[in-house]
Structure 1
Amino acid sequence: MRLYIKSAIFSAIVVLILSGILLGIRLTQVGTELTLVGAEADVLWKVFSAAALIFVYNLFRDPIERVLGLIPKPTLSAGLRDLSQRQFVQRLIWCFLIAAALIFPFLGSRSQIDLATLVLIYVMLGLGLNIVVGLAGLLDLGYVGFYAVGAYTYAMLALYFGVGFWTGLVAAGIMAAFFGFILGFPVLRLRGDYLAIVTLGFGEIIRILLNNLTDITGGPRGIGNIPKPTLFNLEFSKRASDGAQTFHEYFGIAFNSNHRVMFLYLLALVLVLITVFVINRLIRMPIGRAWEAMREDEIACRALGLNPTHIKLSAFTIGATFAGFAGSFFAARQGFISPESFTFIESAIILAIVVLGGMGSQIGVILAAIVMTVLPEMAREFNEYRMLLFGLMMVLMMIWRPQGLLPMKRPHVELKP
């Protein structure tokens, strides 16, 4: 126990200092000046409790870890494990999930449907980044830049040229793919931290350009009055614009504002299902095998005659395409976008979704997107500590399950002893 006294004291002091600065002190505007104000007593008690908990854990680390090791971990029996890996059962589970997702908007409230639509946007972004990070093994910290390109492409086409949503969706995907292709060239010879720094810079360059090109993008004011998606030129508004017809008038039903929310949800669901299908097919194609080969060992990949340049460019281009689709849908759903919607924290959240779900795992990314989006909404009273809890959750995940919630299943052969 004496061996851990110094580390326990040091850890408690670090927690006390950092928590005290982050939570115990805040800036408050008094008149025209900013003044430092101490936190309330309950916040200070939380800070001291966290420091005491860290101190006790580090002091009695060995007994605590022995006790935790005695707790049985939940595992599936051999029969259930074999059954869950059968292709028929997997398809049955997917069909059940899709059916539940289709029925959900007819049973949930408006706020729940709107939250589910936001979840689907993050699912699409997570699946797109999963190609770059999870399959190709390229650390991308500027993925939000492609998201912004897609959103602004549709917004500006609709604003200046009157382009509809469906045409703008395709154009946003193409433009984001072009930017992904352009980004691929500078990072061809980079790996690891250097690659992350360059992609981070790319995301910030895009945001700063959108902020400064005020004549085109509106700058900090953003772009408003972005047209909503229509169903075969049927608008979900109370009154139709010139040359169009409303959804409720065409079907002879009463106007309901929930129809638009339900349509946006179903549209996002269709886009996610298309994304899942396309990526699932790509994984089974030679290009998907090449991504995984380069992720495991680039030198061996070159020795096998594969061209890393083409593999990296394809990963960045295809991953950026899905970000462009998600960005255009986000712009149409919100009706207003600004550079503040595409900060670095968005890239961090999307990357956390990929890591939390399991690198390369599609169902894992979907589960992680639900967790990362729904939990903050359920715990609004902890909104001030959202990023602190978010970081704590990631640290615990790296300790408890570094491979992710649902890691990717790879074909393998086990030799019996």
Structure 2
Amino acid sequence: MMMIVYVALGVVLGFVLLILLVWFWLKWKFRNFAARFAEEFASAMAQMGGMAPPLRIDLEPMQEADWSDGDKADSITETLIELGYEPDGLFEAYAPLQIEIQGFRNSQSSSFAALYEIKQMDRLCLDLVADLSDGTHITVSNAEDKGLDHPQFSKLIRLDHLDLSEPEQVREMHARLLEELQGETTVDLTGQKFEDNFESFWAREMDWRMERGGVTTEEVIRISARNGEPEPSEEEIELAKRPWKQQIDNFITDQIRKDYLNNTNMSGKEWEETLDRLVIVHEYSEASHLIDTLTDTICYESDLDDEDDDDEEDPYLKAEQELNQIFRSEVCVMNAFHRALDLLPPDRKYTLQTTTESPWKSEIYLSPKYYDEY
């Protein structure tokens, strides 16, 4: 796997952990002051959905790169060309940090190269990657270790002591790749392009991370230690992991919804009406999202009631608390959802439409129609 995803994720996680560290210190320091501000800040930190890399990525072509050290980039490029690597596209991407990538392809060694820079870091990195016929791949990289785990199908040789300031260092990386490829059968690159190969690499890595539920507790603790920060609390760890969980939930839900609608014979009008009423639950669903959906359904009539009664308990808050208790008591989010369905009023029950087992275990429901056509 190209190391770009690890570098970007490591930087983002380090930033998130630093912000959380500052936040929890402020929360302790001013625990008797500005409680309302504290709650709003905590809510904002919990909703950092943009602080996780996309699960699929599209490389956007560029006309000219804006390297922090153009002379070094030119020297690296010239050396790679001497070694048989042909330029194969200049791109930018957001993951979620801005990255500039110069792709290369080497037909002689059946390998790709990626010269890249994360704009917030201003450090040129180089990855040399070769696919093997057994489905694994080998990567030689000078990117720094960010403390993240790697899948079994990826063999990584890290040469992070090389700053690529001399052509000999690029040659050393290439020689190491050739050494690792001895006795191995590589995939023929005929007809393959860097862009397609990179996006495929990214998708496979993200699929592996989805199966793990995003970043792990151990990875968060490891990154915090590498950044010289104290070990994060359980609450900080969960907040750092939440953007990943939200990203995974949204991605899987969107895929299931698209597949269902594409395979259902409906008119355009029926399609539009059904889209807003679908309730999808799967093995990676975020409990908070399902709780919000269920609470809205349970309290629909209460939301329409304009009368305020200070003597009565807020029905929305009551339903939300009851649902939170259910979801906290179940290890499996789908089991919790099944129990929560019993709380729906008789006239607002969800109707099960279909279930799936692959690629994700899921259930698709249709919520009641709350409005009349005019």
State whether TM-score is above 0.5.
no
Q: More strand per residue: 1 or 2?
A: 2
Higher RCO, 1 vs 2 (CA within 8 Å, ≥6 residues apart): 1
